[in-house]
Chain A
Amino acid sequence: MNLKRAFRVWQRNATVYKKLYRSSLTLNFFEPMLYLVALGYGLGGFIKEIMGMTYIEFIAPGIVMSSAMFAACYECTYGTYVRMVYQKTFDAVLATPISFSELVLGELLWGTTKSLIYGTIIILVISLFGLIKSYFAIFLIPLIILCGLIFASLSLIATAIVPGIDSFNYFYTLVLTPIFLFSGIFFPVEDMPEVVVKLSQINPLVHFVNISRAFSYGKITQTLIYDLTIVIVYLIVLLPLPFILLKRRYLL
C-alpha cells in the first residue's frame, strides 16, 4: 500500500468539498449547536448541578465527540456509497494506478478529516462559551482523530454490507442513535439499570465522552487508561474490516 496514492483519493474528496463546503459546513455545525443551546440552556435551567458541573458544562465535551462521530459517519456511509455506486467514482479511480486498498484508505482518512473539521469547530465554539477550562483540551484533537478513525471504519463496514442506500436507516436508527443517546453525553449512564450500564461499556462513544470530559476540565484520573485501552482495542479490531469487506463487495 502506497500512502501517496491513498492521499490522492483523499485529495479528490477534499477538492470536491472545497467547492461545496459552505452548504454542508453550516448544516453540520447547526445540529450540535442546537443540542448545546436547547438542552444546555433549556434543560439546564431545571438541572442545578450534575457531577459538580452546570448542565451545559456537563454536555459540551460530549457534543464535541458526537459531532466528530456523526461527521465521519455521514461521510463514510452516504458519501462513500454515492461515490461507489451512483457516481462510479470507484470505477474511475481503479482504472488508474490506485489500488483498492489505497482507495479505501483514502475514504477512511477523508471521513476522519471530516471528524477533525467538525469536532474542532465545536471545540472553538464551546471555548467561546467559556466551557474549555484546561490546557489538557489540546489533547481533544488527537482524541477526535481516533474517534473519526473508529467511526469511519464502522461506517465503511456498514457501506460494505448494506443492500441499498435506504438500508442506512437501520444503521442510523439501530446503531448510531443508541450509541449517541446512551453515551453519557446527556446523563451519566452509571445511574441506569444494570443492563444498560453493562451495555454502555461496549459503546465506544461512552469512552470518548469520558476522556473528552476529563481533558476539557483537566480532571485526569486513572480510569482514563481504561477508557483509552477500550477505544484502542476498538480501533485495532475495526480498522482492517472495511478493507476486507468492501473488497469483497466491490471486486469481482
Chain B
Amino acid sequence: MSIVVGKNLTKYYKKFKALDSVSFEIKEGECFGFLGPNGAGKTTLMGMIYGFILPSEGEIKIFDITLNDKNLPQIKKRIGVIPQDNNLDPDLSVLENLIVYARYFDVPKKKALKRATELLKFIKLEQWSNINVRKLSGGMQRKLIFARGLINDPDIIILDEPTTGLDPRSRRQIWDKIEFLKHSGKTLILTTHYMEEAEKLCDRLAIMDKGKILIIDTPKNLSDKFGGNLEHVYLNMTEG
C-alpha cells in the first residue's frame, strides 16, 4: 500500500521553478531515498511532505488523506521530522528539549517522560539528560534531533540529510539507528547526497536534478541498468 503519494508537484519561488511536476509513490514500511546534488529540490519536496511548504501545483496524499490546512494536524501527528538544521531549543536541557517537543504532539506528561528516557537510552545520551544542549558536541546534538523526531512514535519518519557534517563514527551510529527503525516497520523518507548512505539504507531511490525526478528504482537495479556503481549512475544523470 502507498503511504505517501505525490502527484505533479510543482513549486515556484517567484519565477524560479524549484520543483517541476514531480510524481512518486512511497510504500508503507520502505525506506525511500531522494538523491541529488544541492539545489535539486530535495529539501523543498521534504518541506511539502510535512506541510511546511505549500505546492504551487499538484497534490500530496499521506495515509490516504489529501494534505491541506484542515487535515495537516492529524497527518503531522503521525510524522516525525529529523531536519537538516540544528533547531534544538538552546535554552533547554537535553531532556527538556524532548519533553517540550512531546507537548506539541499532546503526549501526556508521564508518557512523554517515559518515552524521552527510552529515546535517550536509544541514542546513548542518558547521562547527559540534564545538560544544556549548547554544551553538547555537534554529533551529540544531531543524535538528540534524531531522538526528538521519534518522540511521537511516528509511522513516517522524514530524515533530511541525517548525517551531513558528521564524523565517520557518529555517522555509523546514526545509520545503525536508521536500520533499527527500518526493521521496526517504520516508513522512512530520506534525502542525501552520499552515495554510500543511499545504497546502504534505501530500498528505492529517486534521483533528482534541477527540480525533477529523473528515475525511480532500487539501488541494485540502477547500478545494473546503467553499469558500474551507484556513483556512476548519479554523476552521469545529474549535472550538479
**A-B interaction:** yes
Chain A contact residues, CB within 8 Å of chain B: 2, 4-5, 8, 11-12, 15-16, 19-20, 87-89, 91-99, 251-252
Complex CA–CA separation, A140 to B83 (angstroms) = 45
Complex CA gap A20/B93 in Å reads: 13
Instruction: Return A160 CB to nearest CB of chain B, in Å.
Output: 18
Interface SS of B by simple majority: loop
Bound CA–CA A99/B127 (angstroms): 34
Chain A residues with Cβ below 8 Å from B88 are 92
Of B73, B83, B87, which is within 8 A of A99 by CB?
B73
Asked whether B87 lies within 8 Å of A91 as measured between CB atoms, the reply is: yes
Please give the number of chain B residues whose Cβ is less than 8 angstroms from any Cβ of chain A in the complex.
Answer: 32
Contacts of A15 in B (CB 8 A): 92, 96, 100
CB <8 Å contact, A89 and B53:
no
- Whose C-beta in chain B lies nearest to the C-beta of A11? B103
Contacts of B77 in A (CB 8 A): 97
Give the distance in Å from the alpha carbon of A98 to the alpha carbon of B105 in the complex: 8
What are the interface flags for B11-42 relative to A under an 8 Å C-beta threshold, 1 for contact and 0 otherwise? 00100000000000000000000000000000
Task: Please report the C-alpha to C-alpha distance between residue A11 and residue B100 in the assembled complex, in whole angstroms.
Answer: 8
Verify B106–A19 contact, CB threshold 8 A.
Answer: no
Contact between B104 and A96, CB atoms less than 8 A apart: yes
One digit per residue, 1 when the CB lies within 8 angstroms of any chain A CB and 0 when it does not, for chain B 79-90 equals 101010111111
CA distance A98 to B103 in the complex (A): 10
Which residues of B sit under 8 angstroms from A88, Cβ to Cβ?
Answer: 85-87
Task: Check B81 against A95 for contact (C-beta < 8 Å).
Answer: yes
Compute how far the CA of A87 lies from the CA of B103 in the bound complex, rounded to whole angstroms: 19
A93 to B89, CA, bound (A): 10
* Contact indicator B104/A87 (Cβ below 8 Å): no
Residue of A nearest to B132 (CB): A19
CB distance from B238 to the nearest CB of A (A): 24
Say whether, besides A5-B73, A19-B91, A252-B47, A95 and B52 are in contact (CB < 8 Å). yes
Cα–Cα, bound, A99→B71 (Å): 11
B54 at the interface (CB under 8 A from A): yes
Contact of A89 among B47, B50, B87, B152 (CB under 8 A): B87
Tell whether B146 is near chain A: CB-to-CB under 8 Å: no
A15–B73 Cα distance when bound, in Å, is 23
Give the distance to chain B from A170, nearest Cβ to Cβ, in Å: 27
How many Å lie between the Cα of A136 and that of B229 in the bound state?
A: 80
Contacts of B91 in A (CB 8 A): 16, 19-20
Question: Do A12 and B87 touch (CB < 8 A)?
Answer: no
Does chain A have a CB within 8 A of B196?
no
Contact B103 A12 (CB under 8 A): yes
Tell me whether B72 is interfacial, beta carbon within 8 Å: yes
